[in-house]
Amino acid sequence: MKIIRSVSAMKKWGELNGGDCGFVPTLGALHDGHVSLIRRARKENRKVAVSVFVNPLQFGRRQYLLYPRDIKGDAEIALKAGADVLFAPSARDIYNPGFEGRIILPQLFRTLQSQRLEWHFKGVLVVVMKLFQIVRPGRAYFGLKDPHQLALIEKMAADFDVPVVIRKCPTVRERGGLARSSRNALLTADERRAARVIYKALMIGKNELKKAGVARALAEMKKTISSEKTARIEHMEIVDPLTLSPLDGRSKEALIFAAVSIGGKRLTDNVRFRLAR
Ligand code: PAF
Protein backbone atom coordinates (compact mmCIF):
# COMPACT_ATOMS: atom_id res chain seq x y z
CA MET A 1 0.00 0.00 0.00
CA LYS A 2 1.18 3.45 -0.93
CA ILE A 3 0.98 6.37 1.50
CA ILE A 4 0.46 9.66 -0.33
CA ARG A 5 0.91 12.88 1.60
CA SER A 6 0.69 15.58 -1.04
CA VAL A 7 -2.45 16.81 -2.77
CA SER A 8 -0.68 17.09 -6.12
CA ALA A 9 0.55 13.45 -6.00
CA MET A 10 -2.93 12.26 -5.01
CA LYS A 11 -4.48 14.21 -7.89
CA LYS A 12 -2.16 12.38 -10.29
CA TRP A 13 -3.18 9.04 -8.78
CA GLY A 14 -6.82 10.10 -9.03
CA GLU A 15 -6.48 11.01 -12.71
CA LEU A 16 -5.08 7.54 -13.47
CA ASN A 17 -7.26 5.40 -11.17
CA GLY A 18 -10.14 7.55 -10.00
CA GLY A 19 -13.10 6.27 -12.04
CA ASP A 20 -12.44 2.69 -11.06
CA CYS A 21 -11.73 3.46 -7.46
CA GLY A 22 -13.72 2.98 -4.26
CA PHE A 23 -13.02 5.74 -1.77
CA VAL A 24 -13.36 5.69 2.01
CA PRO A 25 -12.87 9.17 3.49
CA THR A 26 -12.08 9.13 7.22
CA LEU A 27 -10.85 11.26 10.09
CA GLY A 28 -8.43 8.49 11.04
CA ALA A 29 -8.27 6.44 14.25
CA LEU A 30 -9.58 3.61 12.10
CA HIS A 31 -11.78 0.99 13.74
CA ASP A 32 -13.97 -1.97 12.73
CA GLY A 33 -16.57 0.37 11.24
CA HIS A 34 -14.00 1.74 8.78
CA VAL A 35 -12.67 -1.77 8.13
CA SER A 36 -16.12 -2.86 7.00
CA LEU A 37 -16.28 0.12 4.59
CA ILE A 38 -12.80 -0.61 3.18
CA ARG A 39 -13.62 -4.31 2.76
CA ARG A 40 -16.81 -3.48 0.90
CA ALA A 41 -14.91 -1.03 -1.33
CA ARG A 42 -12.34 -3.78 -1.99
CA LYS A 43 -15.07 -6.14 -3.22
CA GLU A 44 -16.64 -3.60 -5.57
CA ASN A 45 -13.68 -1.75 -7.14
CA ARG A 46 -10.38 -2.28 -8.92
CA LYS A 47 -8.60 0.22 -6.65
CA VAL A 48 -9.31 1.37 -3.11
CA ALA A 49 -8.24 4.69 -1.60
CA VAL A 50 -8.65 5.67 2.05
CA SER A 51 -8.10 9.21 3.28
CA VAL A 52 -7.09 10.15 6.81
CA PHE A 53 -7.59 13.83 7.44
CA VAL A 54 -8.68 15.60 10.62
CA ASN A 55 -10.56 18.45 9.03
CA PRO A 56 -10.11 21.75 10.89
CA LEU A 57 -13.23 23.20 9.23
CA GLN A 58 -15.58 20.78 10.99
CA PHE A 59 -14.27 21.00 14.55
CA GLY A 60 -13.84 23.62 17.21
CA ARG A 61 -10.20 24.20 18.17
CA ARG A 62 -10.29 22.03 21.31
CA GLN A 63 -11.98 19.09 19.57
CA TYR A 64 -9.59 19.44 16.64
CA LEU A 65 -6.56 19.19 18.90
CA LEU A 66 -8.06 16.35 20.96
CA TYR A 67 -9.06 14.20 17.98
CA PRO A 68 -7.16 10.87 18.22
CA ARG A 69 -4.35 10.61 15.67
CA ASP A 70 -2.39 7.43 14.88
CA ILE A 71 -1.26 7.37 11.26
CA LYS A 72 0.99 4.33 11.75
CA GLY A 73 -1.85 2.29 13.25
CA ASP A 74 -4.24 3.56 10.56
CA ALA A 75 -1.84 2.51 7.78
CA GLU A 76 -1.64 -1.02 9.22
CA ILE A 77 -5.41 -1.32 9.47
CA ALA A 78 -6.05 0.13 6.00
CA LEU A 79 -3.47 -2.19 4.43
CA LYS A 80 -4.93 -5.26 6.12
CA ALA A 81 -8.46 -4.31 5.06
CA GLY A 82 -7.37 -4.07 1.42
CA ALA A 83 -6.58 -0.42 0.60
CA ASP A 84 -4.18 0.39 -2.25
CA VAL A 85 -3.56 3.97 -1.17
CA LEU A 86 -3.72 5.90 2.08
CA PHE A 87 -4.03 9.62 1.45
CA ALA A 88 -2.91 11.61 4.52
CA PRO A 89 -2.52 15.27 3.56
CA SER A 90 -1.69 18.20 5.82
CA ALA A 91 -4.30 20.87 6.54
CA ARG A 92 -2.06 23.45 4.89
CA ASP A 93 -1.94 21.43 1.66
CA ILE A 94 -5.72 20.91 1.57
CA TYR A 95 -6.57 24.52 2.43
CA ASN A 96 -4.01 26.81 0.91
CA PRO A 97 -3.85 30.32 2.38
CA GLY A 98 -6.81 32.38 1.26
CA PHE A 99 -9.09 29.36 0.77
CA GLU A 100 -12.71 30.40 1.26
CA GLY A 101 -14.85 27.90 -0.65
CA ARG A 102 -18.21 27.12 0.98
CA ILE A 103 -21.19 24.90 0.13
CA ILE A 104 -24.69 25.75 1.32
CA LEU A 105 -27.77 23.52 1.06
CA PRO A 106 -30.37 25.85 2.60
CA GLN A 107 -33.33 23.44 2.80
CA LEU A 108 -31.42 20.60 4.46
CA PHE A 109 -29.47 22.97 6.70
CA ARG A 110 -32.77 24.29 8.06
CA THR A 111 -33.61 20.81 9.37
CA LEU A 112 -30.45 20.68 11.48
CA GLN A 113 -31.98 22.90 14.17
CA SER A 114 -28.67 24.15 15.50
CA GLN A 115 -26.17 26.67 14.23
CA ARG A 116 -23.32 24.64 15.64
CA LEU A 117 -24.36 21.60 13.58
CA GLU A 118 -24.84 23.73 10.50
CA TRP A 119 -21.32 25.10 10.92
CA HIS A 120 -19.96 21.57 11.43
CA PHE A 121 -21.64 20.18 8.31
CA LYS A 122 -20.55 23.14 6.19
CA GLY A 123 -17.00 22.08 7.05
CA VAL A 124 -17.78 18.43 6.22
CA LEU A 125 -19.25 19.32 2.82
CA VAL A 126 -16.26 21.47 1.88
CA VAL A 127 -13.73 18.78 2.68
CA VAL A 128 -15.73 15.96 1.08
CA MET A 129 -16.16 18.00 -2.11
CA LYS A 130 -12.41 18.73 -2.14
CA LEU A 131 -11.57 15.06 -1.54
CA PHE A 132 -13.93 14.01 -4.36
CA GLN A 133 -12.16 16.45 -6.70
CA ILE A 134 -8.71 15.19 -5.69
CA VAL A 135 -9.37 11.42 -5.61
CA ARG A 136 -12.11 11.33 -8.32
CA PRO A 137 -13.66 8.08 -7.06
CA GLY A 138 -16.37 6.17 -8.92
CA ARG A 139 -17.84 5.06 -5.58
CA ALA A 140 -17.56 6.51 -2.09
CA TYR A 141 -18.43 4.64 1.10
CA PHE A 142 -20.09 6.21 4.13
CA GLY A 143 -21.56 4.68 7.28
CA LEU A 144 -25.24 5.03 8.12
CA LYS A 145 -24.05 6.04 11.58
CA ASP A 146 -24.15 9.70 10.58
CA PRO A 147 -27.46 10.12 8.75
CA HIS A 148 -27.34 13.93 8.51
CA GLN A 149 -23.90 13.80 6.96
CA LEU A 150 -25.05 11.14 4.52
CA ALA A 151 -28.17 13.03 3.42
CA LEU A 152 -26.14 16.24 2.92
CA ILE A 153 -23.36 14.54 0.97
CA GLU A 154 -25.86 12.74 -1.28
CA LYS A 155 -27.65 16.01 -2.00
CA MET A 156 -24.39 17.86 -2.63
CA ALA A 157 -23.19 15.17 -5.05
CA ALA A 158 -26.54 15.24 -6.87
CA ASP A 159 -26.84 19.05 -7.00
CA PHE A 160 -23.27 19.52 -8.26
CA ASP A 161 -23.29 16.52 -10.65
CA VAL A 162 -20.32 14.93 -8.93
CA PRO A 163 -19.77 11.65 -10.83
CA VAL A 164 -19.66 9.44 -7.76
CA VAL A 165 -22.01 6.77 -6.45
CA ILE A 166 -22.57 7.06 -2.71
CA ARG A 167 -22.67 3.68 -0.98
CA LYS A 168 -24.45 3.59 2.39
CA CYS A 169 -23.09 1.00 4.80
CA PRO A 170 -24.57 -0.33 8.07
CA THR A 171 -23.32 0.85 11.47
CA VAL A 172 -20.90 -1.57 13.12
CA ARG A 173 -21.50 -2.07 16.86
CA GLU A 174 -19.52 -3.30 19.83
CA ARG A 175 -20.99 -6.01 22.07
CA GLY A 176 -23.61 -4.23 24.12
CA GLY A 177 -24.66 -2.11 21.16
CA LEU A 178 -22.30 0.89 21.31
CA ALA A 179 -21.74 2.14 17.75
CA ARG A 180 -18.09 1.98 16.65
CA SER A 181 -16.61 5.46 16.47
CA SER A 182 -13.11 6.93 16.59
CA ARG A 183 -14.30 8.96 19.58
CA ASN A 184 -14.79 5.75 21.60
CA ALA A 185 -11.00 5.78 22.00
CA LEU A 186 -11.44 8.86 24.24
CA LEU A 187 -13.77 7.03 26.66
CA THR A 188 -12.64 5.49 29.95
CA ALA A 189 -13.75 1.89 30.62
CA ASP A 190 -16.63 3.16 32.80
CA GLU A 191 -17.72 5.70 30.19
CA ARG A 192 -17.66 3.03 27.51
CA ARG A 193 -19.97 0.89 29.59
CA ALA A 194 -22.21 3.90 30.32
CA ALA A 195 -22.34 4.76 26.59
CA ARG A 196 -24.31 1.56 25.92
CA VAL A 197 -27.32 3.46 27.22
CA ILE A 198 -27.53 5.28 23.86
CA TYR A 199 -28.35 2.18 21.82
CA LYS A 200 -30.63 0.93 24.58
CA ALA A 201 -32.57 4.21 24.41
CA LEU A 202 -32.80 4.02 20.61
CA MET A 203 -34.29 0.52 20.82
CA ILE A 204 -36.81 1.69 23.41
CA GLY A 205 -37.61 4.67 21.17
CA LYS A 206 -38.21 2.39 18.18
CA ASN A 207 -40.57 0.21 20.16
CA GLU A 208 -42.48 3.16 21.66
CA LEU A 209 -42.76 4.94 18.32
CA LYS A 210 -44.55 1.94 16.85
CA LYS A 211 -46.86 1.62 19.85
CA ALA A 212 -47.47 5.18 21.04
CA GLY A 213 -46.05 7.79 18.66
CA VAL A 214 -43.27 10.36 18.54
CA ALA A 215 -43.81 12.27 21.81
CA ARG A 216 -43.96 9.14 23.93
CA ALA A 217 -40.93 7.63 22.19
CA LEU A 218 -38.85 10.75 22.88
CA ALA A 219 -40.02 10.87 26.51
CA GLU A 220 -39.07 7.22 27.13
CA MET A 221 -35.67 7.71 25.48
CA LYS A 222 -35.02 10.73 27.66
CA LYS A 223 -35.92 8.73 30.78
CA THR A 224 -33.58 5.90 29.77
CA ILE A 225 -30.61 8.15 29.05
CA SER A 226 -31.15 10.21 32.21
CA SER A 227 -30.81 7.00 34.24
CA GLU A 228 -27.08 7.04 33.43
CA LYS A 229 -25.25 9.60 35.62
CA THR A 230 -22.48 10.57 33.17
CA ALA A 231 -24.84 10.93 30.19
CA ARG A 232 -26.22 14.30 29.05
CA ILE A 233 -28.60 14.53 26.11
CA GLU A 234 -27.42 17.05 23.50
CA HIS A 235 -29.99 16.37 20.83
CA MET A 236 -32.68 13.83 20.01
CA GLU A 237 -35.05 13.72 17.09
CA ILE A 238 -37.38 11.46 15.14
CA VAL A 239 -37.53 12.39 11.47
CA ASP A 240 -37.97 11.12 7.94
CA PRO A 241 -34.44 10.00 6.89
CA LEU A 242 -34.82 11.33 3.36
CA THR A 243 -35.94 14.88 4.16
CA LEU A 244 -34.65 15.07 7.76
CA SER A 245 -38.02 16.72 8.49
CA PRO A 246 -40.68 15.54 10.98
CA LEU A 247 -42.54 12.37 10.00
CA ASP A 248 -45.67 12.94 7.97
CA GLY A 249 -48.22 10.83 6.10
CA ARG A 250 -45.77 10.30 3.22
CA SER A 251 -42.87 9.01 5.36
CA LYS A 252 -42.00 5.42 4.57
CA GLU A 253 -39.18 5.18 7.08
CA ALA A 254 -38.32 6.73 10.43
CA LEU A 255 -34.93 7.79 11.71
CA ILE A 256 -34.38 8.10 15.46
CA PHE A 257 -31.22 10.07 16.15
CA ALA A 258 -29.49 10.80 19.45
CA ALA A 259 -26.43 12.90 20.28
CA VAL A 260 -25.39 12.26 23.87
CA SER A 261 -22.39 13.50 25.77
CA ILE A 262 -20.77 10.86 27.98
CA GLY A 263 -18.29 12.35 30.42
CA GLY A 264 -18.10 15.40 28.13
CA LYS A 265 -17.47 13.41 24.93
CA ARG A 266 -20.16 13.75 22.28
CA LEU A 267 -21.36 10.44 20.82
CA THR A 268 -24.06 10.00 18.20
CA ASP A 269 -26.10 7.04 17.07
CA ASN A 270 -29.34 6.30 15.26
CA VAL A 271 -31.72 3.62 14.10
CA ARG A 272 -33.59 3.73 10.81
CA PHE A 273 -36.53 1.47 10.06
CA ARG A 274 -39.63 1.06 7.89
CA LEU A 275 -42.93 2.35 9.18
CA ALA A 276 -45.93 0.05 9.02
CA ARG A 277 -48.72 1.99 7.25
O1 PAF B 1 -17.48 11.11 8.96
C2 PAF B 1 -16.29 11.41 8.81
O3 PAF B 1 -15.40 10.59 9.05
C4 PAF B 1 -15.94 12.81 8.35
O5 PAF B 1 -16.94 13.72 8.64
C6 PAF B 1 -15.54 12.88 6.86
C7 PAF B 1 -16.68 12.42 5.97
C8 PAF B 1 -14.32 12.02 6.61
C9 PAF B 1 -15.20 14.32 6.50
O10 PAF B 1 -14.16 14.82 7.26
Domain ranges of the chain: 2-169, 182-271
8 Å CB contact between 218 and 238: yes
Quote the pLDDT of residue 98: 93
Share of the chain above pLDDT 90, in %: 91
Instruction: For residue 67, give Cα distances in angstroms to 81, 178, 219, 248, 270.
Output: 23, 19, 32, 38, 22
Is any atom of ligand 1 closer than 6 Å to the C-beta of 127?
Answer: yes
Quote the pLDDT of residue 57: 97
Is any atom of ligand 1 closer than 6 Å to the C-beta of 181?
Answer: no
Share of the chain above pLDDT 70, in %: 100
Residue among 12, 81, 21 nearest 46 (CA): 21
* Statement: residue 185 has pLDDT above 90: no
Mutate to test the pocket of ligand 1, among 24, 26, 268 (most ligand atoms within 8 A of CB): 26
Mean local confidence (pLDDT), 143-172: 95
* Statement: residue 7 has pLDDT above 80: yes
Reported confidence tier of residue 137, pLDDT bands at 50, 70, 90: very high
CATH class of 182-271: alpha beta
Read off the pLDDT of residues 198-212 as tens digits, 9 standing for 90 and up.
Answer: 999 999 999 999 999
Read off the pLDDT of residues 101-114 as tens digits, 9 standing for 90 and up.
Answer: 999 999 999 998 78
* Residues with Cβ within 8 Å of residue 126, at least 6 apart in sequence: 57, 101, 102, 103
Quote the pLDDT of residue 143: 94
According to the per-residue pLDDT averaged within each range, which of 12-21, 41-50, 143-152 is highest? 41-50
Please tell me the CATH superfamily of domain 2-169, with its number.
Answer: HUPs (3.40.50.620)
| Distance from Cα 219 to the centre of ligand 1, integer Å | 31
**Residue 34 is a catalytic residue:** yes
* Statement: residue 276 has pLDDT above 90: no
HSE of 156, CA atoms in CB hemisphere, 13 A: 24
Quote the pLDDT of residue 151: 92
Separation CA 259–CA 237 (nearest Å): 9
2-169 and 182-271 have identical folds: no
Quote the pLDDT of residue 192: 96
Separation CA 215–CA 150 (nearest Å): 26
Closest atom of ligand 1 to CA, residue 124 = 9
pTM of the model: 0.88
What is the residue-averaged pLDDT of the chain? 95
Quote the pLDDT of residue 242: 84
End-to-end CA distance of the chain: 49
Quote the pLDDT of residue 76: 98
Label each residue of 22-35 as H, E or C.
EEEEECCCCCHHHH
Biggest CA-to-CA distance, the chain: 56
Nearest residue (CA) to ligand 1, atom 8: 26
Is any atom of ligand 1 closer than 6 Å to the C-beta of 25?
Answer: yes
Read off the pLDDT of residues 209-246 as tens digits, 9 standing for 90 and up.
Answer: 999 999 999 999 999 999 999 999 999 999 999 889 99
